[in-house]
Structure 1
């Protein structure tokens, strides 16, 4: 693959493909030439405000053209895009804005309740840009309309940071993962080769673009010069309608989406024959669902494995190789995936250890966290915290997590963060968050708590308390109240005992 930057990619596509459709949104088509012109104008407008090289621009938007324009405009400026999970609450958003040193926030006014309170806590962002009118912000379309059409003479290099994606990592403390222009393009090229994508394909973009998964799908489409249809929020019947209307061939989704698509009662009413391939990422896909969904949609669904720190994935199943149940496939071309013991020794086939990664898709590091970066990238490998093994043919298998995270349909929930919020409730003496298997989402978070003497607390009261402080996917779906939580001799809550107790119910 010829090394490209986001800027070079879009400029070349506009020059070579002109009026070919790049994005479809609410039945409106945007050509590559129009998209590049919009990006150029918005980049000039941001430059006029004072946004420059290495500045951070937070993007808190649903799947929409403004997300794409802002993401690419950052590259045109040599600035850094910081996608924000749209489900974040005020506390989480404030942390991300402060930690990332964002100078601007591009958002929808539906988050307006946060803006004024956050803006009162300097030093935070200087400029608020909204997609719809909002008294305290600048309107996106007006700002874009004022931007010059002249190309910006700013050099962007392969090693420059393109985006910072926040991940909780192994400790539960949010960290900004710095991914370079080169990281993103190497990863997209690897996926394209495996999926055999070409410019006759058309994708459905229903996975959130604020995730690395969504960014990957977008870049894959733009690199091969094809288009995608933006859809947000997810609705199974709308997926069917879009596939039928626009002859979608490529269906990237997460497990929960495939679950709802497969079980939808009206699925067979639609013509889905254009579909040829799907990909599942963000969480493990149950073998039965893989079989059922593939058969019902008459497509090949490939499962990928990875993490934000390696640009989203490092392994994927193959189109032209046997499917092995439980496997997450083989390493991407040009990427090394190994299994390492606690002593830093690489293990052989069938030996279980920590999965580690080397290659051009591995992050530059964590933003402003040199110690955590050194820990994650030690011995020349990215340490994932996931346990697994590979077989004699190079297929990788996940067996467990070192991390205690709960994977809710692809959204990573780290117990420590939720537990700290639970402990702020005056009635709670002990608290733990554990996973419980779920047929639809893979796992759901379950809160197990013990109350202070004389205190009372219902499940609904705790859920209501947490809903105002945490993103919806982090809020426990079930609350179990016990007299006390099991602890080991040194006083640590033994979560595996709690998991076992719930599984035996």
Structure 2
């Protein structure tokens, strides 16, 4: 049986009509019973308990009479209660809206308002951020607070009130085509867009799990332990870590967050056999002092995205793991995995598409481009935009933004990703750069437009331009902001960042700030007033510019 036939036999045996988050959890709970599924610090939760915990939340929410298919935002850190709510909301046919815990101000308001969320489940530590914009989100009718101190009187529902004693599965039929989640992108041209996942998006977990097994995890079957330091409010953790592990009957170790200094100690402690990464995690680990635990562990595979070619072999050699590099989008229309890597001479590649997905590289006219003769030295005529397409019922959907979907989707169903890349002769894809105005920092996608929007709210600022500049961490980026003051106004970089800190997430704060006059700024514009950011980037290392640029890291500014 071919690999393609095997994949579609898996899909057929599982049943598309059963491709829902509630069904997957209930099926796996029945199969695995008391086998451990999640580990958080010293807490171990079995498959059966995971299902029962989700049922308790589901029944508790039903008793609140939130209406049919309620939209419920979750603002939790990495804790087991996140999964309880994630599964529990799905069990009542609700729509989950995960919120980045670092958001505040206008961005937090926008996500709650745009998603039409009428309910919010929030950890007490983030309640202050919500209350600061509470009057501007009148759609929110019910607020449920976790970990509220007993000494504090709140006019909200306490989490214990929805932790119902009923552990049986709710008698609600959830269908595969129902909306399941609204996952917000970071925004490419301004405001983030809400990607709508339907219940059958859980199939992505089945496909990724199948690829991992085919790629060398067969010997770990039944003893698969994945260490996940990534935030649960991101799609990677949910659909490329949690769900594949569940399909394979493994266990997931949920870290409260990424800790570089204790990373390998944790991997060793929990006997993890696979770790997942994103963004600059690998580079940060390489900068840590050498220690015994970094090789004295059971991990054999590091699975994720964003590994620079120049550290690939160095990382594998130092930490005794094999890198499985992948690529995907929040939009979920394309998935790749490179399982060949060092052994197969494919270092630097994001791999090939998973079965059920297709990629092609096209030029500005939509013409498919030829593969590169030498994948490490591609020619300009090999590099184009990556277009993705799914042969599964997983299509691009933005919540309330069908016009954007139409603009990004070609007649043949291929979707413009905004990423540039190329293929080699064997069909392996190599990521080149981003077409969109985005900045990749510490695993977060940052919209330059959003940084500018926040900075421009300062009453002393006339205009600004945010863009990516090289980071100390290979493959990562930092934010630089060029600012033009209004006539007669004065402002220091620290005053500006303190202003922005109250209105946006810490990771969006610029490390570098440079002030220019209005006349100087005009030299970076076209005749149609478009800002030519490449000019700012080109002069980043010029001595004159370096002397004029404030570096928050060197100055010891506390970004968090």
Shorter-chain-normalised TM-score: which range?
Answer: over 0.9
Contact 1:21 1:31 in 2 (8 A): yes
- The 5-angstrom pairing of residues 74-93 of structure 1 reads 74-93=89-108
Q: Which runs of 5+ in 1 are unaligned?
A: none
Quote the offset at 1:147 in angstroms. Answer: 4.7
* Aligned residue number for residue 66 of structure 1: 81
Mapped pair 1:268 → 2:292: yes
2:420 to 387, 398, 405: 387
Contact 1:94 1:118 in 2 (8 A): yes
TM-score using structure 1 length: 0.94
Question: Partners of 1:467 and 1:136 in 2: how far apart?
Answer: 28
Quote the offset at 1:196 in angstroms. Answer: 4.3
Quote the offset at 1:258 in angstroms. Answer: 1.8
Q: Which range is displaced more, 105-114 or 146-155?
A: 146-155
Quote the offset at 1:462 in angstroms. Answer: 1.4
| Structure 1 SS opposite 2:50 | helix
| Structure 2 SS opposite 1:366 | coil
> Residues 262 and 400 of structure 1: is their aligned pair in 2 closer, same or farther, counting only changes over 3 Å?
closer
- The 5-angstrom pairing of residues 404-419 of structure 1 reads 404-419=437-452
- The 5-angstrom pairing of residues 39-188 of structure 1 reads 39-133=54-148, 135-144=154-163, 146-188=164-206
Question: Partners of 1:142 and 1:85 in 2: how far apart?
Answer: 24
1:218 to 233, 242, 262: 242
Mapped pair 1:203 → 2:203: no
Contact 2:332 2:396 in 1 (8 A): no
Contact 1:43 1:77 in 2 (8 A): yes
| Structure 2 SS opposite 1:111 | helix
> Residues 465 and 115 of structure 1: is their aligned pair in 2 closer, same or farther, counting only changes over 3 Å?
closer
Question: Partners of 2:168 and 2:327 in 1: how far apart?
Answer: 41
| Structure 1 SS opposite 2:202 | helix
Quote the offset at 1:278 in angstroms. Answer: 0.5
Contact 1:315 1:331 in 2 (8 A): yes
* Aligned residue number for residue 370 of structure 1: 402
Question: Partners of 1:125 and 1:475 in 2: how far apart?
Answer: 28
* Aligned residue number for residue 241 of structure 1: 265
Question: Partners of 2:414 and 2:460 in 1: how far apart?
Answer: 44
> Residues 107 and 361 of structure 1: is their aligned pair in 2 closer, same or farther, counting only changes over 3 Å?
farther
* Aligned residue number for residue 460 of structure 2: 427
- The total of aligned residue pairs comes to 501
Quote the offset at 1:52 in angstroms. Answer: 4.7
Quote the offset at 1:323 in angstroms. Answer: 3.7
Mapped pair 1:488 → 2:526: yes
Contact 1:488 1:494 in 2 (8 A): yes
Contact 1:133 1:139 in 2 (8 A): yes
2:479 to 440, 445, 449: 445
Q: Which range is displaced more, 292-301 or 319-328?
A: 319-328
* Aligned residue number for residue 455 of structure 1: 489
> Residues 159 and 226 of structure 1: is their aligned pair in 2 closer, same or farther, counting only changes over 3 Å?
same
* Aligned residue number for residue 3 of structure 2: none
Contact 1:170 1:385 in 2 (8 A): no
Quote the offset at 1:67 in angstroms. Answer: 0.4
Contact 1:450 1:482 in 2 (8 A): yes
1:316 to 312, 337, 351: 337
- Runs of 4+, deviation exceeding 6 Å: none
Cα distance per residue 1:260-319 (max 9 Å; x no partner): 2222225324563301100132xx3222222222111101012111210016x5212114
Quote the offset at 1:53 in angstroms. Answer: 4.3
| Structure 1 SS opposite 2:89 | helix
Mapped pair 1:468 → 2:468: no
Quote the offset at 1:459 in angstroms. Answer: 1.6
Quote the offset at 1:169 in angstroms. Answer: 4.3
Quote the offset at 1:193 in angstroms. Answer: 1.6
Cα distance per residue 1:380-405 (max 9 Å; x no partner): 11110111111211011222321011
Q: Which range is displaced more, 318-327 or 210-219?
A: 318-327
| Structure 1 SS opposite 2:350 | strand
| Structure 1 SS opposite 2:147 | coil
- The 5-angstrom pairing of residues 355-366 of structure 1 reads 355-359=386-390, 360=392, 362-366=394-398
> Residues 248 and 52 of structure 1: is their aligned pair in 2 closer, same or farther, counting only changes over 3 Å?
farther
Contact 2:78 2:232 in 1 (8 A): yes
Question: Partners of 1:179 and 1:348 in 2: how far apart?
Answer: 33
Quote the offset at 1:450 in angstroms. Answer: 2.2
RMSD: 2.0
- The 5-angstrom pairing of residues 296-307 of structure 1 reads 296-307=318-329
1:277 to 289, 301, 313: 301
Question: Partners of 2:55 and 2:246 in 1: how far apart?
Answer: 17
> Residues 461 and 124 of structure 1: is their aligned pair in 2 closer, same or farther, counting only changes over 3 Å?
same
